[in-house]
Chain A
Amino acid sequence: MGNAVEVENLSKKYHIGERGRERMVREAIVKYFKSLFQRGRNEAIWALRDVSFSIRQGEVLGIVGRNGAGKSTLLKILSRITYPTSGTIKVNGRVASLLEVGTGFHEELTGRENIYLNGSILGMRRREIESRMDQIVAFSGVEQFLETPIKRYSSGMRLRLGFAVAAHLDADVMLVDEVLAVGDAEFQKKCLSAMDNLSESGRTVLFVSHNMEAVENLCERAIWIDDGIVRQDGPAREIIQNYLSTFAGAGENRYDLAVLDRKVGNGDVRFTGIAFLEPDGTEKTLIRCGDPLVVRLHFEAKQCIRSPHFAFELFTEFGTKVTSLNTWASGFEIPLIPRGRGHVDLEIPSLNIVDGRYYISLWAASAGNLWYDRLDHCAYLDVTASDFYHSGRAMTSQHYGLVLLPCTWKAGAMCDDMAHCQEGDFFPDSHRRFAV
């Protein structure tokens, strides 16, 4: 079989200041006159540089990389939403891109109307939408509310409706961005199995995700994009391992943060590292739920900074923010940090979260909302299950939610002596039932 997608020497340049800002004619005129008198600075960043790869027909390819590495840009170029600065793309067959669930949904329209609208925006023909309407509705699970405007839907219902449409797209090449990063675990499973069906039906899928488990399960091959270039291309498992190994600088409990690219922050204070320690200051090798933990944030200040604030935020693998621990919220004031290297310690007496991998985001800012530095998902924290309630049972994420709250149970009326109960008080097989 031939190649479904061929990408050759793809590059994309952005001019700084081109994005994310509303500009006015007035500014353009001022800029023009300024440019007459001084040589304009032409700052550009390359979001992608000389990216080449191909995808065979029916292959499921995963794209991994840090935030800002160029994954989304690549996906947008392949979807023809934006154009490359140079290079060529050849795609054989019909392309559908899923960069978002429910693109174009309109609040005032009903569920059914939005299925038509969203379906046609994603490239479905009206006949296709009509013939798949029943399946779409069944998949979404919002049958009863089909004639209700979606402004009355919960966010979960909207998501299910959007994904139901997407799951019934019929294209030769599917470009899928992190759409699974939202929603509850059950819904994510449904989405993953829908995606699995996609790949089994012989469609070519390009899948971008931060969820390494999903990439490993779905993709046989992966490409690791780093700083706009293809760092590695090969079997998914191997690529993911190599990619994840860069998160840990020396060992799993120390990270070198100085090397990461920043999108936000003026750089007056920059995080250089993070370390997980025991309360006595020694390195922590195993982090279990309920353990005390000291997080040491190393930073470097370009100059003397007055009352900076620091934050340590935890996210689940699915992107849910678990907590944001910061000096501002805690009312902790640091009057001044001197120029040069320094650190702050965050002491968590008991890490009350279930086992699993948590991503860490950090920020440093002034009291006046000026960002010094911000790093999203720059490191991770692996928490191991433990006997948190000292019951002899391990509290695992499968059954115990996300947070373990310290608690005690008390019963209102309790027979501690069998003598108070009579034979007939028991169901005949009550013991057996509990034994199961």
Chain B
Amino acid sequence: MRAEVLREFWDYRELFFFLVWKDVKVRYKQTLLGASWAVIQPFFTMVVFTLFFGKLANMPSDGIPYPIFSYSALVPWTYFSGALSLAGNSLVNNTNLLTKVYFPRVAIPASAVMCGLVDFLIAFTVLLAMMVYYGMPLRWDLLLWPVLVLPLMFLALGLGMVLAALNVRYRDIKHAIPFAVQMLLFLTPIIYPTSIVPERFRSLAALNPLVGIIEAFRATVVPSRHIDWQLLGMSVAVSFCVFVIGLLYFRSAERQFADVI
């Protein structure tokens, strides 16, 4: 049975490719600023954060310029939050595909998660430019970014599939998504470094898989720091669990999609 499912996924790989290709194409067509949106969002958020948290609130930033400190976390965060919202609304936004043609339904949230990778890549190159501007050394660790984005994808897809499936049944889920994303922003060390979290809360915070992943992204730009492999390992494990649970839930709910949507 499982082999059949995998073979089916393989059979539909081209459709999956075209769905991603469509999302990417449409994203950059008909927008005044085109690909620059990929940069504008994390960049201006960084500017605002730098102004309020870096300058006014004097937030510590692990000994590196606050703009780099926040931007290095904002790039993966922007990818994650975008992927989660897109995936969560993906089924509802593709009602006509669900009711008119068959293919493995997972392809819809999965392609939504893939689509943001282009933005991620563009925003990453801006990070490199910023680091050169601030005279920071570019370490080999930066090459880990494409690997570190994988657990982020699994996490976004896992949560996204659950939200998407619930969204089909209950339409108020779509109002809950932005709210949940906003909460997560504050529960994750993006504005602040982990060092200001009191010791006794840290193990609790580590349950949020975003903590380990985002911290790992940031560790690749801070010269004095190294990736906390133990924390990252835990976050990756949690992310993968979320993905598996999400997939199982999605597969059990998908038989109803066309009838309920």
Q: By the criterion CB–CB under 8 Å, are A106 and B258 in contact?
A: no
A18-B259, A104-B96 as given contacts; A116 in contact with B18, CB under 8 Å = yes
Q: Mark A96-121, 1 if CB is under 8 A from B, else 0.
A: 01011001101011000100110011
* Complex: A102 Cα to B177 Cα, angstroms: 31
Separation in Å of the B37 CB from the closest CB of chain A?
15
| Interface flag for B29 (CB, 8 Å) | yes
Separation in Å of the A307 CB from the closest CB of chain B?
35
Q: By the criterion CB–CB under 8 Å, are A120 and B18 in contact?
A: yes
Question: In B1-30, which residues have CB < 8 Å from any A CB?
Answer: 14-15, 17-18, 22, 25-26, 29-30
| Interface flag for A122 (CB, 8 Å) | yes
With A83-B255, A121-B18, A125-B14 given, name 12 new contacts (CB 8 A). A14-B259, A23-B171, A81-B100, A81-B258, A82-B258, A103-B97, A108-B25, A108-B26, A108-B29, A108-B30, A117-B22, A126-B14
Q: Mark B197-231, 1 if CB is under 8 A from A, else 0.
A: 00000000000000000000000000000000000
Residues in A whose Cβ lies below 8 Å from that of B15: 120-121, 123
| Interface flag for B251 (CB, 8 Å) | no
Question: In A68-105, which residues have CB < 8 Å from any B CB?
Answer: 76, 79-83, 97, 99-100, 103-104
A19-B259, A28-B170 as given contacts; A109 in contact with B25, CB under 8 Å = yes
Q: By the criterion CB–CB under 8 Å, are B170 and A100 in contact?
A: no
Q: By the criterion CB–CB under 8 Å, are B170 and A25 in contact?
A: yes
Q: By the criterion CB–CB under 8 Å, are B22 and A106 in contact?
A: yes
Residues in A whose Cβ lies below 8 Å from that of B255: 82-83
Residues in B whose Cβ lies below 8 Å from that of A108: 25-26, 29-30
Listed in ascending order, the chain B residues whose CB lies under 8 Å from chain A are 14-15, 17-18, 22, 25-26, 29-30, 96-103, 169-173, 255, 258-260
A109-B26, A120-B15 as given contacts; A99 in contact with B101, CB under 8 Å = yes
* Complex: A82 Cα to B29 Cα, angstroms: 34
Most buried by B among A14, A100, A117, A121: A121
Most buried by A among B15, B103, B169: B15
Q: By the criterion CB–CB under 8 Å, are A81 and B98 in contact?
A: yes
Residues in A whose Cβ lies below 8 Å from that of B18: 116-117, 120-121, 126
Q: By the criterion CB–CB under 8 Å, are B96 and A103 in contact?
A: yes
Separation in Å of the B8 CB from the closest CB of chain A?
11
In the A-B complex, list the 7 residue pairs whose CB atoms are closest, starting with the nearest.
A80-B102, A120-B18, A22-B171, A82-B258, A25-B170, A24-B172, A83-B255
Residues in B whose Cβ lies below 8 Å from that of A149: 29
Residues in A whose Cβ lies below 8 Å from that of B97: 103-104, 121
The one of B22, B96, B170, B260 in contact with A19, judged by C-beta atoms closer than 8 angstroms, is: B260
* Complex: A100 Cα to B169 Cα, angstroms: 24
Q: By the criterion CB–CB under 8 Å, are A109 and B22 in contact?
A: yes
Residues in B whose Cβ lies below 8 Å from that of A24: 170-172
Separation in Å of the A99 CB from the closest CB of chain B?
5
Q: By the criterion CB–CB under 8 Å, are B26 and A121 in contact?
A: no
- What secondary structure prevails in chain B residues at the interface with A? helix
| Interface flag for A431 (CB, 8 Å) | no
Residues in B whose Cβ lies below 8 Å from that of A122: 101
Q: By the criterion CB–CB under 8 Å, are B260 and A113 in contact?
A: no
| Interface flag for A399 (CB, 8 Å) | no
Question: In A14-33, which residues have CB < 8 Å from any B CB?
Answer: 14, 18-19, 22-26, 28
Separation in Å of the B104 CB from the closest CB of chain A?
10
* Complex: A25 Cα to B166 Cα, angstroms: 9
Residues in A whose Cβ lies below 8 Å from that of B101: 79, 81, 97, 99, 103-104, 121-122
Q: List 6 A-B contacts (CB under 8 A).
A: A19-B260, A22-B171, A81-B102, A81-B258, A82-B259, A103-B100
Q: By the criterion CB–CB under 8 Å, are A79 and B102 in contact?
A: yes
* Complex: A120 Cα to B17 Cα, angstroms: 9
Q: By the criterion CB–CB under 8 Å, are A97 and B102 in contact?
A: yes
Across the interface, name the chain B residue whose C-beta is closest to A14.
B259
Residues in A whose Cβ lies below 8 Å from that of B30: 108
Question: In A331-368, which residues have CB < 8 Å from any B CB?
Answer: none
* Complex: A99 Cα to B97 Cα, angstroms: 11
Residues in B whose Cβ lies below 8 Å from that of A123: 15, 103
Separation in Å of the B117 CB from the closest CB of chain A?
19
Separation in Å of the A74 CB from the closest CB of chain B?
14
Q: By the criterion CB–CB under 8 Å, are A113 and B25 in contact?
A: yes
Residues in B whose Cβ lies below 8 Å from that of A14: 259
Across the interface, name the chain A residue whose C-beta is closest to B16.
A120
* Complex: A22 Cα to B172 Cα, angstroms: 9
* Complex: A116 Cα to B17 Cα, angstroms: 11
Separation in Å of the B177 CB from the closest CB of chain A?
13
Separation in Å of the B149 CB from the closest CB of chain A?
26
Q: By the criterion CB–CB under 8 Å, are A121 and B172 in contact?
A: no
Across the interface, name the chain A residue whose C-beta is closest to B94.
A104
A18-B260, A106-B22, A121-B15 as given contacts; A26 in contact with B102, CB under 8 Å = no
* Complex: A104 Cα to B103 Cα, angstroms: 13
Separation in Å of the B259 CB from the closest CB of chain A?
5
Residues in B whose Cβ lies below 8 Å from that of A113: 22, 25
* Complex: A126 Cα to B97 Cα, angstroms: 19
Most buried by B among A25, A103, A106, A126: A25
Separation in Å of the A28 CB from the closest CB of chain B?
6
Separation in Å of the B64 CB from the closest CB of chain A?
41
* Complex: A149 Cα to B22 Cα, angstroms: 13
Separation in Å of the B245 CB from the closest CB of chain A?
20
Across the interface, name the chain B residue whose C-beta is closest to A26.
B172
Residues in A whose Cβ lies below 8 Å from that of B99: 76, 81
Q: By the criterion CB–CB under 8 Å, are A120 and B169 in contact?
A: no
Separation in Å of the B14 CB from the closest CB of chain A?
5
Residues in A whose Cβ lies below 8 Å from that of B102: 79-81, 97
Across the interface, name the chain B residue whose C-beta is closest to A125.
B14
Separation in Å of the A46 CB from the closest CB of chain B?
14
